[in-house]
Amino acid sequence: MEKIAEQKNRFAEIQVQRDSFVHLDAVRDLNRRVFGEDRLINRLDHEPLIFLTAHCNGRLAGFKIGYSLNRRVFYSAKSATDPDFRKHGIARILMDTMIRDALVLGFNELQYDTFPALYPGMLIIGFKFGFQIKSLHWNPDYGDFQVRLARRLQMREPPVREQQFRYFR
């Protein structure tokens, strides 16, 4: 497990880690609380797989999991922020970290799916990060439109708020 970023805000210090499943049980618990399901993603053995956890005051505040769709496209498969830590920049710092990690791994596009009626915040954060709608279709299992968002990745990708992030190698 490697601490790769931290952000200080008026609430506490937020630390993001590349997690080698050390916090998997806590992530599964947060996933059940946020999504009401046990399944994180279909498989955790993708290569490469990025598994990020965010921590605040020693508690798991959020997670983000993604993997390669092909040699050029990285897919952010699932993320969640603990309701107690929403509006504290958790989703923003996790997204920023995944974008940077995918770029370092050589990917030139990041994609993710969301259901805007169920999770409107994921559409908003996508637009803030420069994502555009790639596809849209009705998903009867969720009773909502499934929106695929995509964004090109560029070298020297600036974080959203450069002055608030410190990166560790």
The domain segmentation of the chain, as residue ranges, is: 2-161
User: 2-161 in CATH: which number?
Assistant: 3.40.630.30
pLDDT in tens, 72-84: 999 999 999 999 9
pLDDT of res. 167: 32
CA distance 129 to 123: 10
Please state the rounded mean pLDDT for residues 125-137: 94
- Using pLDDT thresholds of 50, 70 and 90, give the confidence band for residue 119: confident
pLDDT of res. 20: 80
Nearest to 70 by CA among 150, 156, 16: 150
pLDDT in tens, 134-157: 999 999 998 999 999 999 998 765
Average pLDDT taken over every residue of the chain: 86
Higher per-residue confidence, 6 vs 156: 156
- Quick count: other Cβ atoms within 10 Å of Cβ 134? 14
Number of alpha carbons in the 13 Å side-chain half-sphere of residue 89:
21
Residue 55, pLDDT above cutoff 50 = yes
What is the reported pTM?
0.82
pLDDT in tens, 21-36: 889 999 999 999 999 9
The sign of the CA dihedral 77, 83, 89, 93 is negative
Residue 115, pLDDT above cutoff 60 = yes
pLDDT of res. 13: 83
